[in-house]
Amino acid sequence: MHTAHRCRAFWIKIPGYEQQATCPMCGCDESMEHIITECHASGQSIIWGLVHELLTKKGIPQHGVPTFGQVLRCGLTDFRDASCKKQVGCNRLYTIAVSESTYLIWRIRCEWRIEREENQEKLHTKDEIVGRWLAMINMRLKLDCLMTDKRHYDHKAIDPKLVQRTWDGVLHDEQGLPDNWVAESGVLVATRAEHPPGHN
């Protein structure tokens, strides 16, 4: 939001690094908007597809890939039901899914440009991206559950009911989970995407 990321304008100002301002995959100016919503090298289309599936399970309305403006204001969502009552769980899940996915897209882009030296034969595969997204969103779910522990976090602990409202409707084998699943280990988010071979 404050142009702190190292892309486009950042590199143009540094002599000898001007070429870093251009996306090597698409040949256009590499802005944050391009990386997050347009570029094929960042895995964004696959990740936004996973986000769409997750939010659809929750009943959250969407219209394709979020715009860059929607990404920036994801913490200000205000979904309400038919009686205009705020849907706290939906708002919170939307913020988590969009913000965490945006960060993963940025990381994948940086890995490809820096660690993989912009080699188009070393683009992240679909299985790799899906596996990392599933690991990321499940880690976020686990963190939510752990942060309900009042013995460790006292007044800073998250209300278990808030965690339930956030994740209800998107969990794997939800009908078979106990009512107090927040205190259980091994709870996972459910998607149609399968874990890539060799991952568990």
Give the pLDDT mean for 69-82. Answer: 94
Where helices occur in 74-185 by DSSP H, the ranges are 88-110, 126-146, 150-153, 160-167
Residue 5 — very low, low, confident or very high, per pLDDT cuts 50/70/90? confident
- Quick one: average pLDDT of 115-125? 95
In the prediction, which pLDDT does 156 show? 94
Task: Kindly report the average pLDDT of the chain as a whole number.
Answer: 91
Sequence-separated (6 or more) residues with CB below 8 Å from residue 27: none
Q: Average the pLDDT over 72-96 and give the result.
A: 94
pLDDT of res. 199: 46
Q: Which of the pair, 170 or 191, is modelled with greater confidence?
A: 170
Structural tokens at position 8: 């486009």
